[in-house]
Amino acid sequence: MRPAAIPARARRAYAFLLKAYPPAFRADVGEEMAAAFADRYQDEAARSRSALAVLWARTLWDTARNAIPERMARRMTDPTPTAAIAGNGGTMDTLAQDVRYALRALAQQRAFAIVAVVTLALGVGANAAIFSVVNAMLLRPLPYPAAERVVMVWTTTGNGQAAAAWPEYLDWRAQSHSFEEMAVARHQSVTLVGGAEPERVTGAFVSSTLFDVVGARPELGRTFRPEETDPTTAQPVAVISHGLWTRRFGADPAILGRTLIFNGQPRAVIGVIGPEFEPGRAPFDGWFMGTEVWLPVADFPNANGLARGQTELGVVARLRPGVTPAAAQADLAVVAERLQKAYPDTHARRTVIVRPLHEQLVSDVRPALLILLGAVALVLLIACANVANLLLARAAHRQRELALRSALGAGRGRLVAQLLTESMVLALAAGVLGTMVGALALRGLVALVPANVGLPADLAIDRTVLAFTAGLSVLTGVVFGLLPAWQASRPDLLAVLREGGRSVGGAARRRFRDGLVVAEIALSLVLLVGAGLLLRSVLALQGAEPGFRTDRLLTMEFRLPTSRYTEPAQMAAFFHAILERMRAVPGVESVALARAVPFSGNGGSGTYEVDGQAPPAPGSEPHTQTNIVSPAYFRTMGIPILQGREFEERDTAVATPVAVVSATFARTAWPGQDPLGKRFRLRERPQWLTVVGVVGDIRHGSFAEAASPQAYTPHDQDPRIFACVLARTTGDPMAMAAPIRQAIWSVDAQQPVWRVRSMESLLAAARGPARAISILIAIFAGVALLLAAVGIYGVMAYLVAQRTREIGIRMALGASAQTVMRMVVGRGLALTLAATLIGIAGAAALSRTLATLLFGVAPLDPVTFVAAATVLGGVALLASYLPARRAARVDPVVALAEE
């Protein structure tokens, strides 16, 4: 016999098709079939190509018409071949027939079909919308070649992660073996002069290797050479983005070699990076992404920033193929240990963390997104339970029809197939409608979510989402259709025929329907509790005090070019001049400068040492937030001065170095002592600082952060190029933006000013994500509640319809309308009570997952639980009251005469 040498692809394809058959069938004759197919394939291949095409077509058909009935009928095989054959002729014809029949059946009960499709479409639509976001942010790979190998490398001394230093990066790069390439990058805005107004662009100070790490290719010119970025040999060059090139220079190819002034320094443009690296392509633009201009790391404006021990530079690297982040981390840890020994002062306890870039980017939003996905999954489950219930009620009405078909010889498999086809038609219709709902919902969602969450710009129902929705719809159809179909296809022939088709459908079926309702009420309660907890968080957040006055406060940022302000005295002079001009602007109540505006995303921090206390072991020094502020800062911000004084004009560069600390700082550093006159020093500065005042704690980064020690130093004693204006105005702060900017420009016309925002808008942005999530969950909970109400109503109404005769008899025997109502409502409440107990247990188990999103409310907050249960109970009561009222109006004469 010939060897069965057919192409591996064909063999695999047929093996795949064989999976359509039930496992037992495959185990028995699968190998034989594959062998027979291989023989046929060889014969046909010898004939012609078109013969092969015909073979594949016939094989597909053969699989479809045999595998499906084999799966459906296997359980009910009859020992005689002919009997098994009877129900299974021509599967495709059967399917078409089933679909036609399903459409007819659904058309006859239009109300039912509409309710079912709309219910499911709500569930599917919510899932499509949330999944679009999850897909874009969590699932889609970053837009870099082999992006899964791009990692961030951080330093750590035990708590949290920090950036690295230039010499450290060089050691890592030279001594590790896990990376194809490693690079440094530091995001910082850059001033570009040359147009009508000075402009601030998003810059990154990088090593030449960055472009290799992320796989960025220039569309014009070239990227940096190693010697151009190295601090010892750096050149005044720049690489700009496609966006900046087209927006500002009209995509003029003559940009190459042109000199532009960045941060006050002339630089030659040597390349333009392609459009695939524009902002908004990744879930978030961090570290080196979304950059408009790349400059040599050597020119990083903080001159001290490159020294050993600093934490200013982000390190991004590309792993060698096959190397895991954990292995790379272990590799680098060896280098870090070497550095600890070589530089005990700056590298004490300093080691490394290697994290995949994508994971790092999305780690903040992941919990929220997964919670949202869970919530919409619950909504869909509730919708399924509801439709399953509707189907069961409907199946009960159709029992006579099903019994008849069964009596006429349709097997159970055949009936299940018919009923499942109806579910599928419903599910697919819901899928189509749900996709439309999803597209609309997505638009609403984009409008709802604040910009600082960073939803990708190209968020849309794309092919992946469509495939997901289609799959979900089919799954939905099976989930809500299979059980009812199974139940309904088991009609008790005798009972049905004897009762003239008015069967009450057995206790088992009623228990099953009750179970569905209990399940959906319980699931709704879980969602309600979640929504309640999040809403309470939002309220708590709304009422949270940041520790300063938030109204009528204008903020803006600027940065002095190091080329023109080389001396601290020059900077101080500039700051004094603009403060004076700004103070003179009508409508400005009070104005101050600070290095970082609270809630702006900027902020400083570092370790400190207390005078007169034994220095703690290197690496375990206490930590404080830091800020550099001008006189009148605390007055302008409305931060209460608890002790001593705030900074004054006398705190100049030549005066005693002083500091103002927060209450928490004072308590931490000098517990039980008077902090005034005590001294401490910050790691970054050598001088001892004398405490002259104690102020109230404020929240600087977010509402969620724990109260941290805060230390302030005067602007004049440590002037830096980066500063922010804070102005308390008498009227609308944004209206004052233009005159204040003019005041700055009257001192230096080349000074760009950016991020002009009111404090209220910064706080709104800080509260935004929590607000958006809670609104979404509240919407889902509302839908769930509505669906649950429909479910309860459906079950109770059905119960009443079924028991009309019994109710009639009871009333004929003297039961009052009230007794009847109590009976019906009581039953609804019993179901609700059971569901509430289950739901509370479920919510208690699940609310812990919400913990990271909660603010000022415990996951097991009793108020929320009781409120959610009460709302649900009220809705359930109403939903059973309506059918109960109908029951109470039963006319015994009519009810009994129906027989």
Partner 1 sequence: MTDPRIPTEDFLPLRPVEFDILLALGDGERHGYAIMQEALRRSEGQLQLEPGTLYRALRRMREAGLVTETAGRGQEGSDERRRFYRLTALGRRVAAAEAQRMAALVRTARTRGLLGKA
Q: Residues interacting with partner 1, by CB under 8 A? A: 1, 4, 21, 25, 28-29, 31-33, 35-37, 39-40, 58-59, 61-63, 65-67, 70, 77, 79-82, 84-85
Token readout for 408 is 């006429």
By C-alpha distance, which of 186, 178, 183, 181 is closest to 162? Answer: 186
As a whole number of angstroms, the distance between CA 822 and CA 654 comes to 87
- Closer of 25 and 101 to partner 1 (Cβ): 25
Quick check: 894 and 810 in contact, CB under 8 A?
no
44/312 with CB nearer partner 1: 44
Minimum distance of partner 1 from residue 66's CB (angstroms): 3
**CA 285/CA 289 separation, integer angstroms:** 5
Q: Least distance to partner 1 from the beta carbon of 445, Å?
A: 47
Cβ distance to partner 1 smaller for residue 80 or 159: 80
Minimum CB distance to partner 1 smaller for 50 or for 159 = 50
Smaller CB separation from partner 1, 24 or 408 = 24
Q: How far is the CB of 418 from partner 1 (least distance, A)?
A: 22
In this complex, which beta carbon is closest to partner 1, that of residue 44 or of residue 98?
Answer: 44
Q: Dihedral through CA 360, CA 364, CA 366, CA 367, nearest 10?
A: 140
- Minimum CB separation of residue 877 from partner 1 in Å reads 56
**Residue with smaller CB distance to partner 1, 86 or 457:** 86
Neighbours of 377 (CB within 10 A): 18
Smallest distance, partner 1 to C-beta of residue 39, A: 4
For partner 1, which is the closer residue by CB, 30 or 450? 30
Could you give the CA distance from residue 708 to residue 623 in angstroms, rounded to a whole number?
8
DSSP, res 198: -
3-state secondary structure of 810: helix
How far is the C-alpha of 833 from the C-alpha of 473, rounded, in Å? Answer: 32
Closest separation in Å from C-beta 474 to partner 1: 23
- Round to whole Å and give the CA distance between 513 and 252: 70
Helix, strand, coil share of the chain (percent; to 5): 55, 15, 30
**How far apart are CB 49 and partner 1 at their closest, in Å?**
18
Minimum CB distance to partner 1 smaller for 70 or for 651:
70
Give the shortest CB-94-to-partner 1 separation in angstroms. Answer: 16
For residue 228, give both structure tokens: 């151009």
DSSP 8-state assignment for residue 356: E
Cβ 87 to partner 1, closest distance in Å? Answer: 13
| Helix boundaries (H) for 803-816 | 804-812
What are the strands, taking DSSP E only, across 619-752?
Answer: 623-629, 641-644, 658-662, 679-682, 689-695, 710-714, 722-729
Q: Give the shortest CB-434-to-partner 1 separation in angstroms.
A: 35
Supply the minimum distance, in Å, between the C-beta of residue 32 and partner 1. Answer: 5
Nearer to partner 1, 31 or 648 (CB): 31
CA neighbor of 606 nearest in space, from 682, 670, 544: 682
Q: State how far the Cα of 495 lies from the Cα of 505, in Å rounded to an integer.
A: 9
DSSP assignment of 573-600, as one string? HHHHHHHHHHHTSTTEEEEEEESS-TTS
> Please, how many CA atoms are within 13 Å of residue 208, restricted to the half-sphere of its CB?
15
Helix (H) or strand (E) holding 318: strand 314-319
Query: CA 242, CA 220: separation in Å to the nearest integer?
Result: 9
Nearer to partner 1, 86 or 841 (CB): 86
To the nearest whole angstrom, how small is the minimum distance from the Cβ of residue 428 to partner 1?
27
Sign of the CA dihedral 797, 802, 808, 811?
Answer: negative
Q: Give me the least distance between CB of 35 and partner 1, in Å please.
A: 6
Tokens matching residue 753:
């000013």
Q: Using the minimum distance from each CB to partner 1, give the nearer residue, 62 or 674.
A: 62
Residue (44 or 861) nearer to partner 1, CB = 44
DSSP 676-705: TT-EEEETT--S-EEEEEEE-----S-TTS
